[in-house]
């Protein structure tokens, strides 16, 4: 029979987002049966160029939709899920995020999937067990070494082995499937239980104080719609109690609660505060999990089995069928912003998601970001204040010590050392804060002033003494052996200058031999379980010195600390980044907030070479809110974010002139095409011009009109990617948090 030209035969197609750095989705064909089965939000295996990739279906095309004859359609390789694993709300969230941050949709969608699903593993992987059927099959698999290996492993476990364990042992699923075809083994599916566990109270709530009560009532009033709240409460004012009591009501309605915390805030202490209040399934989602645990937690969230989802940044993209509340604690924390690849801010995504899902979003902090205060000012967010410390604790007092005139031992003011001794002798704990790990930030020759510098960066090497003496570049990771003489003048006295936590640890051990010094930084907590050990020590009412970097500053509750010593924040007072003072103020207030959270009042001593700095004076004489007010005014006067919207272009190559010329030419193009709506700064060399052997240049774009800014950038950016030399790396950072 002849097919008439007017009735073309239908072509079954799906549109697929594939994980490649390209801004489009791609169409693939499939059979009618597959088409009927295919769901938007399900995974497919496809071939792309010469790669085999796992993509997600974003659309099913109508069979009679027009077909571009110039494009050769490929067929999908396999449908991997018979149901959507990303629901339509999460897909719209991801699509929006991809457009807002101008990052390829395929990559954005991938970032929402746990690693095992990203790799194409079956959704029910954790319920799949492989069992041997034929224990006498050697002769059938003589030709395949892989099958022989798999067969041997299966034979060791006659009752069956979980597929993910087999995969870990190097046995691939494809090999098992080949054995299954030959009748040698079979795959058994255990039933996975995704039914939610009923929620009940494990512990009675505390009696809320008037501020807490007001906050709880305001949030609960908005329970069934979108409203954003800033819970602006002093350190120790009981913000967590507010979250818990609001959660209680939301959970009672059978809804899920998503709680986001900063990366290093997800400690056993935080987890146990939620666990000890509610009996329910809590899914933990953070980067420390292995792939199976992560899949398990993600599935508990995605099926509705988990009622509370407690996670770090990327948990904001978890599909949640019953979302009723989003809480983002320590909302000012920089770890909510992803600083590489898909550079999203979980706080902004949370606000959009609340809007999409029609549920309240609560951002909490003792030191809210200036961005959030601006949203309050514009009426886009309601501010709820907690003005007193909960229970009987009082706010600590900050004292400034002028290092220029102070008597010192080991770089620490004598007066501060005397205060420390007093507290320790009274069996109290002291927290010493220094945001610099390692032994010393500089190694210098005493004779000719040569300094040990990283050969690949514009930066000094940091001296480390453990586990052995070495030099380490904290910017590119280069490690060098410790020189025993000066390479410039051959002098043999090389001196470490300045202090890092490891050096202060030595000094404190020498100055206070009778007391324990507990160091907390990335070097000392890298081992699994070390946090737990540190906590156990801190929670005992015994005198001790806690010494650490900003890991110590985050939301922790140390009931026996009555004195906080801040050794050096001067670099934060000098930085050129317009957000540097905001970050420094947050750090000072957060670290200070660790003092006096128990029954005794706390004091904070801050030693500095710049005691006259206005930031310090505002914090001492007034408070963080006053500082924030002033900063908002300054930003408004200078037309800086959040009063204008920003985007940062980072350009990196081995040739700084190439960077500069390229950016200049691009700036020119943007100027011509953006009707004076975009203010362009730069190109300028990055604050650290050379990093890991490559030169970095920046260009900042600012505009009062966000929609217009994004509109211009969209076209210009794609063009720019096409035109750039292949040796150059370009990144676009929408709403950048750091200009470095």
Shorter beta-carbon distance to ligand ADP: residue 114 or 364: 364
Which region among 5-13, 235-243, 542-550, 634-642 touches ligand ADP (by CB under 6 A)? 235-243
The CB-nearest residue to ligand ADP is: 238
Place of tokens 């800033």: 230
- The shares of helix, strand and coil residues in the chain, as percent rounded to the nearest 5, are 35, 25, 40
Residue length, the chain?
A: 740
The residues of the shown chain that bind Zn ion, judged by CB under 5 A, are 445, 447-448, 450, 454, 456-457, 473, 475-476, 478, 486, 488-489, 491
The single residue among 163, 241, 348, 428 that binds ligand ADP, judged by CB under 6 A, is 241
| Residue 526 C-beta: closest distance to Zn ion, Å | 20
Measured between alpha carbons, how far is 275 from 307 in angstroms, rounded to an integer?
12
Furthest CA-CA distance within the chain = 102
In the complex with ligand ADP, the residue whose CB is nearer, 232 or 505, is 232
Contact between 602 and ligand ADP per CB under 6 A: no
Q: CA 658, CA 138: separation in Å to the nearest integer?
A: 63
Q: Is position 212 an interface residue for ligand ADP (rule: CB under 6 A)? A: yes
Which of ligand ADP, Zn ion, none interacts with 140 (beta carbon under 5 to 8 A by kind)?
none
Q: Report phi then psi at 433, rounded to 5.
A: -110, 130
- Per CB under 6 A, the segment of 190-198, 203-211, 220-228, 437-445 that binds ligand ADP is 203-211
> Which residue, 235 or 302, has its beta carbon nearer to ligand ADP?
235
Question: Minimum distance from CB of 539 to ligand ADP (Å)?
Answer: 12
Interacting stretch for ligand ADP, rule CB under 6 A, among 180-188, 206-214, 374-382, 456-464? Answer: 206-214
Nearer to Zn ion, 203 or 488 (CB): 488
* Cis before 467 (ω within 30): yes
Of residues 233 and 602, the one with the C-beta less far from ligand ADP:
233
Q: Is 206 in the site for ligand ADP (CB under 6 A)?
A: yes
Shortest reach from residue 296's CB to ligand ADP, in Å: 29
DSSP assignment of 41-52 equals: T-EEEEEETTEE
Rounded to whole angstroms, what are the CA distances from 190 to 125, 163, 281?
A: 10, 12, 20
**Cβ of residue 35: shortest distance to Zn ion, in angstroms?**
53
Residue (423 or 694) nearer to Zn ion, CB = 694
Q: Which does 208 bind (CB under 5 to 8 A by kind): Zn ion, ligand ADP, none?
A: ligand ADP
Is 235 among the residues that bind ligand ADP (CB under 6 A)? yes
651 is in an annotated binding site: no
CA distance 711 to 721: 16
Residue 535 CB neighbours (<10 A):
17
Selection from Zn ion, ligand ADP, none that 456 binds (CB < 5 to 8 A by kind) is: Zn ion
Q: How far is the CB of 344 from ligand ADP (least distance, A)?
A: 25
Regarding 236 and contact with ligand ADP (CB under 6 A), the answer is yes
25 assigned ligand-binding residue: no
For residue 309, the partner it binds in ligand ADP, Zn ion, none, with Cβ less than 5 to 8 A by kind, is none
At its nearest, how many Å lie between Zn ion and the CB of residue 660?
22
Please give the structure tokens belonging to residue 654. 């081995």
Provide, rounded to whole angstroms, the least separation between the CB of residue 210 and ligand ADP: 10
3-state SS assignment for residue 713? helix
User: Encoding tokens for residue 356?
Assistant: 């999409």
Under a CB-based contact definition with an 8 Å cutoff, are residues 218 and 382 in contact?
A: yes
Paired strand residues for 606: 400, 566
235 binds, among Zn ion, ligand ADP, none (CB under 5 to 8 A by kind): ligand ADP
Position among 147, 173, 237, 697 found at the interface with ligand ADP (CB under 6 A)? 237
Identify which of 208, 205, 166 has the alpha carbon closest to the alpha carbon of residue 187.
166
Euclidean distance between CA atoms 380 and 263, whole angstroms = 27
Distances (CA, A) of 374 to 230, 247, 278, 378, 379: 11, 27, 35, 6, 9
Q: Using the rule CB under 6 A, is 207 a contact of ligand ADP?
A: yes
User: Which of the choices Zn ion, ligand ADP, none does residue 153 contact, using the CB cut-off of 5 to 8 A by kind?
Assistant: none
Nearer to Zn ion, 313 or 694 (CB): 694
Q: Tokens 């004012």 identify what position?
A: 237
Return the residues of window 539-578 that contact ligand ADP according to CB under 6 A: 557
The CB-of-284 to ligand ADP minimum distance in angstroms stands at 19
Report the candidate in 104, 8, 136, 118 with the shortest Cα–Cα distance to residue 62. Answer: 8
Q: How far is the CB of 581 from ligand ADP (least distance, A)?
A: 23
Contacts 24+ apart (CB under 8 A), 9-14: 10/63, 10/64, 11/63, 11/67, 11/73, 12/63, 13/60, 13/61, 13/63, 13/65, 13/73, 14/38, 14/44, 14/57, 14/59, 14/60, 14/61, 14/76
Question: Does residue 208 bind ligand ADP (CB under 6 A)?
Answer: yes
Q: Which does 240 bind (CB under 5 to 8 A by kind): ligand ADP, Zn ion, none?
A: ligand ADP
Strands (E), 109-243: 128-132, 161-162, 185-189, 200-201, 228-233
As a whole number of angstroms, the distance between CA 39 and CA 58 comes to: 9
User: Does 383 show up as a binding residue in the annotation?
Assistant: no
Query: Binding to ligand ADP (CB under 6 A): which residues in 361-390?
Result: 390
Residue 320 token pair: 């949640």
Whether 185 has a binding-site annotation, put simply, is no
- Enter the tokens of residue 34: 């597959």
Choose the binding region for ligand ADP from 229-237, 404-412, 454-462, 576-584 (rule: CB under 6 A): 229-237
Task: List binders of ligand ADP among 385-404 (CB under 6 A).
Answer: 390-391
Answer yes or no: are the C-beta atoms of 258 and 316 closer than 8 Å.
yes
Q: Which is nearer to ligand ADP, 241 or 735 (CB)?
A: 241
Q: Comparing C-alpha atoms, which of 715, 647, 587 is closest to residue 343?
A: 647
In this chain, which stretch among 230-238, 530-538, 607-615, 681-689 interacts with ligand ADP, using CB under 6 A? 230-238
State yes or no: 280 annotated in a binding site.
no
Known binding site for Zn(2+): residues?
445, 448, 454, 457, 473, 476, 486, 489
Which positions lie near ligand ADP, rule CB under 6 A? 206-209, 212, 233, 235-241, 390-391, 557
Known binding site: residues?
445, 448, 454, 457, 473, 476, 486, 489
């Amino acid at each position: 029979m002849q097919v008439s030209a007017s009735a073309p035969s239908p072509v079954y197609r799906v549109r697929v987002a594939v994980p490649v750095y390209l801004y489009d989705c791609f169409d693939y064909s499939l059979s009618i049966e597959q088409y009927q089965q295919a769901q938007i939000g399900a995974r497919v295996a496809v071939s792309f160029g010469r790669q085999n990739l796992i993509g997600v279906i974003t659309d099913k095309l109508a069979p009679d939709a027009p077909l571009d004859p110039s494009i050769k359609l490929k067929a999908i390789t396999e449908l991997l899920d018979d149901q959507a694993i990303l629901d339509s709300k999460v897909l719209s969230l991801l699509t929006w995020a991809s457009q807002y941050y101008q990052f390829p949709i395929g990559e954005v969608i991938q970032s929402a999937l746990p690693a095992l699903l990203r790799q194409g593993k079956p959704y029910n992987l954790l319920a799949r067990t492989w069992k041997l059927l034929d224990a006498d099959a050697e002769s059938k698999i003589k030709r395949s070494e892989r099958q022989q290996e798999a067969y041997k492993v299966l034979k060791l476990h006659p009752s069956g082995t979980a597929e993910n364990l087999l995969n870990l042992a190097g046995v691939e699923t494809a090999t098992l499937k080949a054995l299954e075809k030959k009748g040698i083994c079979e795959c058994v599916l255990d039933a996975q239980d995704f039914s939610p566990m009923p929620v009940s109270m494990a512990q009675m709530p505390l009696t809320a104080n008037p501020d807490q009560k007001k906050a709880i009532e305001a949030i609960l009033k908005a329970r069934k719609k979108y409203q954003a709240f800033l819970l602006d409460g002093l350190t120790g004012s009981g913000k967590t109690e507010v979250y818990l009591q609001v959660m209680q009501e939301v959970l009672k309605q059978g809804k899920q609660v998503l709680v986001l915390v900063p990366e290093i805030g997800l400690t056993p202490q935080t987890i146990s505060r939620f666990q000890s209040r509610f009996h329910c399934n809590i899914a933990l989602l953070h980067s420390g999990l292995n792939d199976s645990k992560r899949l398990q937690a993600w599935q508990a969230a995605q099926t509705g089995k988990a009622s509370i989802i407690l996670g770090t940044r990327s948990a904001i993209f978890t599909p949640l069928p019953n979302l009723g509340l989003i809480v983002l604690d320590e909302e000012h924390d920089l770890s909510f912003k992803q600083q590489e690849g898909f550079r999203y801010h979980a706080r902004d995504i949370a606000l959009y998601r609340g809007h999409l899902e029609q549920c309240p979003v609560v951002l909490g902090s003792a030191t809210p970001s200036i961005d959030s205060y601006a949203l309050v000012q514009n009426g886009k967010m309601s501010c709820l204040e907690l003005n007193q410390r909960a229970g009987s604790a009082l706010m600590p007092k900050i004292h400034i010590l002028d290092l220029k005139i102070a008597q010192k031992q080991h770089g620490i003011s004598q007066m501060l050392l005397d205060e420390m001794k007093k507290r320790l002798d009274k069996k109290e704990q002291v927290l010493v804060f220094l945001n610099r790990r390692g032994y010393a930030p500089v190694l210098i020759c005493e004779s000719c002033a040569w300094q040990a510098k990283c050969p690949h960066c514009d930066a000094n090497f940091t001296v480390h003494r453990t586990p052995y003496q070495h030099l380490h570049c904290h910017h590119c990771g280069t490690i060098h052996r410790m020189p025993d003489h000066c390479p410039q003048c051959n002098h043999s006295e090389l001196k470490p200058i300045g202090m890092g936590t490891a050096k202060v640890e030595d000094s404190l051990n020498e100055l206070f031999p009778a007391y324990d010094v507990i160091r907390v930084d990335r070097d000392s907590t890298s081992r699994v379980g070390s946090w737990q050990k540190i906590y156990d020590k801190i929670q005992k009412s015994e005198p001790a010195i806690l010494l650490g970097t900003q890991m110590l500053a985050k939301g922790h509750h140390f009931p026996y600390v009555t004195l906080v010593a801040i050794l050096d924040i001067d670099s934060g007072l000098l930085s050129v980044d317009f957000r540097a003072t905001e970050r420094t103020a947050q750090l000072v207030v957060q670290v200070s907030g660790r003092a006096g959270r128990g029954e005794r009042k706390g004091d904070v001593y801050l030693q500095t070479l710049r005691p006259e700095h206005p930031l310090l004076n505002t914090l001492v004489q007034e408070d963080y809110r006053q500082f924030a007010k002033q900063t908002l005014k300054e930003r408004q006067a200078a037309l800086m974010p959040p009063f204008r919207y920003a985007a940062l272009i980072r350009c990196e190559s081995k040739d700084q002139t190439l960077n500069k010329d390229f950016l200049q030419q691009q700036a020119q193009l943007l100027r011509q095409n953006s009707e004076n709506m975009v203010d362009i700064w730069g190109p300028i060399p990055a604050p650290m011009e050379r990093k890991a052997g490559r030169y970095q240049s920046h260009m900042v774009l600012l505009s009062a009109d966000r929609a217009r800014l994004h509109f211009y950038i969209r076209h210009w950016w794609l063009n720019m990617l096409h035109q750039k030399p292949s040796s150059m790396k370009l990144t676009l950072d929408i709403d950048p948090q750091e200009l470095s």
